[in-house]
Amino acid sequence: MMGSSAVEKLFSRPLPVTAKFAEREERKQTVLITLEMHSITSPIHTKELVVRLTDETDLFFLYTLRLNEEDFQSLKVQQGLLVDFSAFPQRFVDLLELCLQEQHKESPK
């Protein structure tokens, strides 16, 4: 039997980014950044933050990160993050919103 899940969309906006590729130099492009919180109720109740980067001008450009609480703990230690998993999605959205506000400034933060 498949478990049920709910999806809450937290953010979905295009943002200018600088993409760095191993075989190419870096290039500036606009990428659609989507954040969703998936709540899965079976077999056990878990939450997962899904971050998706897409570019509608390049159909082969698709990056997806699925981050559950256990994975987040590793990321928190590696990156020295000061927030817990429950607060992380909103902090991430706040930073993306700041990027949107700063994108047209001469020296964005």
Single pTM value for the model: 0.85
Q: How far is CA 32 from the centre of its chain?
A: 10
CA distance 88 to 43: 24
Domain chopping of the chain, boundaries: 5-102
- Residue 5 has what pLDDT? 78
CA distance 42 to 2: 7
* CATH number among 2.170.210.20, 2.60.120.560, 3.10.20.520, 2.60.120.10, domain 5-102: 2.170.210.20
Mean pLDDT of the chain: 90
Q: What is the torsion angle, in degrees rounded to the nearest 10, for the CA atoms of residue 60, residue 61, residue 66 and residue 67?
A: 160
For residues 2-19, give the mean pLDDT.
Answer: 87
- Residue 1 has what pLDDT? 42
Segment 20-78, tens digit of pLDDT:
877 778 888 899 999 999 998 878 889 999 999 999 998 998 999 999 999 999 999 99
